[in-house]
Structures are given as structure tokens and as C-alpha cells.
Structure 1
Amino acid sequence: MATGDKNDPVRTDAGTARPARNTRNRPTDDELLDAACAVIAEVGAERTTMTAIAERGGTTRVTLYAHFGSRDELVNRVMTRELDTFTSFMFEVYDASEDMPYGARARYSVQALFDYARRHPAGLRVLIGHREGGSDRRLYAALEPRIAARLRDNYAERGARIDASADTLASLLLGMSLDVAHRALIVDGAGVDEACDLAITATLAVLRDVRPEQLRALDESLGRR
């Protein structure tokens, strides 16, 4: 007996026809995460609800719970995905600029961060706008060591050895760019180009004006603790 197409109506025991279940339109995890990312970027993680995500993703709350278990787990999955995507991008930028002169390398890195903001505004809004979950600290923890290592190499080329002070300076430089991006993308809605120009100017000014002896003095003070 011919079974017919898999999308043909299916007969129930009562003899009435009901549409066959179409599995081709089931949302994937990535599609659901995209919907959640868009909602979080707009209203913030604290105000994000499963209902809003379901409406954005064209699905149901039941489906969201089936895929992720809870709202908090869904938010965490979004944060982790966006963090991994952004940090992987920045690591590639750091690798690509390794042989550039120091000032050009710093400019290139800051420019790349804001280029990312232009192309992925929702993802970066999620990371720098979500304070409750500590995503901004996870950003620092991921990127600071690479920046600090570059600072140590740069000062070593100038005959100055710095230790923990490189971590402090890396935090300062990264924080300036992220704070400017935060104001542009979330607080003030300023233009990304203008924000990028400000962040580059501030970064280069710090690198120009911070003296090796200041960093060594900070290291010595830490050594006395």
C-alpha cells in the first residue's frame, strides 16, 4: 500500500484528517539564540522574557524551555556565544597586527573593535550592556592578557621591564574603548565613527604619555605589599 508523501494529511483513529507534522521549519538553537540576542540588545537581559524571545523567533515558550531549560540558561548561552565570537575576532586582529609598529598596532586594534560594533551591534550591545551577569568582566579576562603581553613586549623593546603594571595599563586601555563603545551603542546613541575616533585618540595619548618609570613605580609598590 502506498504511504504517500510525508506531508500528506494523517488520519486519526476517528477518521478525521490532521496536517502531518512538518519538521523542516523547526527553529535551530542558533536561530533561537539570534532571537534572544536581538531582544537582549534592545531591552537588556534583566527585562528580557521568554515570551518576547518566542515572539521574536516565531516560536513558543514551550520550545524555548525544551531547548534551553530556563530563561537564565538561555541568556547565558547568548552571552557565551557572543563572547566567544567577539574574542575570537579580536584575537585574529591581534595576530594580524603583530608585526605593525606599536602605535599603528594600537590604532588598528581599536579600529577593529569599532568595526565589529558596526557589523554586529546587537552582539556587542549584549556584551557591554549586560552588567548583572558579569559579561563585561569576562571580556576583560579574555582580552587583557593578550593586551598586557603586547605592552610588556613594547616596553622591553624600549629597555624597560614591566610586570603587573602591564595588566593595569591593559585594563585601562581596554576599558576606555569599551566605555566609549558603551556610550555610543547604548547610552547616548552617538555615531560609531565619531566614537571610534575618540577612542583611538585617547588610546594613543595614554600610550604616548605614560612613562616607563611610572609603571615600574607601580610594580615596586605592588612588590612591597
Structure 2
Amino acid sequence: MSPAEEGARTRNGMRWRTDDLLDAAVLVFGESGYHGATMNAITQRSTATKATYYSRFGSKDDLYTACLHREAERMRVHLVTAYESADVLSVSEQLEGDMLAFFHHAATNPAGFMLLFGPEAAGPAARIRQTLLDTIRDEVARRVRRTLDARHPHASASADMIAAMIIGVAVHGTYQAVVVERTSPERAGAMASSFVIAALRNMEPGAIVYTTGSTAIE
């Protein structure tokens, strides 16, 4: 048996799956933030030993980064799957489905949401969060671009900006609804999607950035 495998045992000889160890760490990091979380609190939550965690992850920093990566990947898979399944729907239905998927994921995994979008603004959290947001923005921009092409020729230069605004509504709306007010994800998601759809329908043509060739004009 390797040292890592040996270290993954608790005092009673039980082996721990990596996801089980990360589950407990995500709860503590999500509740307390990186600086407030301690290895004692994490091991108490999981009942695994510190030796188990250190042999598997190396340090508190590495454990924190592993939690961030896992939660970002889980959210990415959840949202991209929802986006792909909604591709056959109308644009309004797609945007509503996108928003509900975001709110539902946060409501069913609030600790993971707080880990990614809570008050920690620097270090690995910021980098991993931005990579996730860029991926989500690109997916949303893809369908926004289709809508702009149909209604406003040469306006696709605005797709990324509009998508970023939609994602901003999702992130901050979710924080307010799920974390602060504990509103149901269905009601909050419906409100957010209605807000976004109304904004897109009533957008002034003069506010959109157009492109002619490689030159952007307003």
C-alpha cells in the first residue's frame, strides 16, 4: 500500500473517497471563507483525520484550490448541459432555462456557490471564478449572437457584452435570492429571466455596437 493510500485511512481503517473529503471541506470553506476555515473544523465535519487530508491534498492551500476546481467544474457541466438541452427552444425559453439552471444549481449547492462567488476576491478563487464565468459567457453569447444577427445585422460585436450583463444578473441575483433572502429558485429565476428578456426586447438600437468589416461603430 502506498503512503497516500495509507494516509487516506481514518483511525478505524476506513478509506475515504476524494469527493467525500472535498464535500466536508467545501461546506467549511463555503461557510467560513478561506481565512476563517481551519483544518480542525474540516476534519471535525468529515470525521477524517488531518493525516488523511494532508496525505491526499498536501496543504490547506492545495485543499482549497481542489475544492474550487471541483465546484467550478460541477457548475460548468451543469450549466453547459442545460444550455445544450435548450438549444431547440425559442430564445426567450432558452434564456429562461439558462437562468433557472443557474439558480437551481446554487440552491442545491449553496456552499459551493459561496465558495466560488462569496467574498473571497483574490488568489485562486478569483482566477478559477473568472475562468468559469468566461466559459459561461461564451455559451450565452453564442445564442445572444444569433438573436442579434436576426434582428440587428452587424451587431454581433455586442454579444459578449450583453452576455456578460446577463451573467452578472445571474450571479448577483442568485446571491441575493438564494443566500440573503432564501427565495425559491423557481420564483427568483423566473424574475431574473423576465428581467433579462424584457431588457433584450426593449433594447434601443442606438445603444448597440455594430460592426462593418473590422470597424466598430455606434
- TM (normalized to structure 2)? 0.82
CA distance in 2, matches of 1:81, 1:74: 11
Deviation at 1:95, TM superposition (A): 0.7
Could you list the per-position Cα deviations for residues 90-148 of structure 1 after superposition, in whole angstroms to 9, with x for gaps in the alignment? 11111111111111111111112112223222222222214332143232112111111
The equivalent of 2:4 in structure 1 is: none
From 81, 85, 94, the equivalent of 1:96 is 85
8 Å CA contact 1:106, 1:204 repeated in 2: yes
Match of 2:109 among 112, 120, 123: 120
After the TM superposition, which of the residue ranges 78-87 and 185-194 deviates more from structure 2? 185-194
The aligned counterpart of 2:141 is 148
Paired with 1:196 and 1:131, the residues of 2 have a C-alpha distance of 25
Residue from 27, 31, 39 that aligns with 2:28: 39
Q: Does 1:110 align with 2:99?
A: yes
User: For residues 69 and 17 of structure 2, what CA distance do their matches in structure 1 show?
Assistant: 17
Would you say the 8 A contact 1:117–1:124 is kept in 2? yes
Q: 1:157 aligns with which of 150, 155, 166?
A: 150
Corresponding residue of 1:175: 168
2:42 pairs with one of 49, 53, 57: 53
Q: Judge conservation of contact 1:93–1:109 (CA < 8 Å) in 2.
A: yes
Could you state the TM-score of these two structures normalised by the residue count of structure 1? Answer: 0.80
SS in 2 for 1:44: helix
Contact kept in structure 1, 2:110 and 2:179, CA below 8 Å: no
AA aligned opposite 1:121: P
- Displacement after TM superposition at 1:188 (Å): 4.3
Gap runs ≥5 in structure 1: 1-20
Runs of 5+ consecutive residues of structure 2 not aligned to the other structure: 1-10
| Aligned-residue offset at 1:39 | 0.8
Report how many residues are paired. Answer: 202
Q: Please report how far the alpha carbon of residue 185 of structure 1 lies from its aligned counterpart in structure 2 after TM superposition.
A: 3.1
Q: CA RMSD in A?
A: 2.3
Between the aligned residues of both structures, percent identity stands at 27
Find the aligned partners of 1:136 and 1:211 in 2 and give their Cα distance.
31
Q: Distance in 2 between matches of 1:148 and 1:192?
A: 23
What is the aligned partner in structure 1 of residue 190 from structure 2? 197
> Residue 86 of structure 2 contacts residue 94 of structure 2 at CA under 8 Å; is this kept in 1?
yes
* 1:73 alignment partner, one of 55, 62, 73: 62
Secondary structure of 2:87's aligned partner: coil
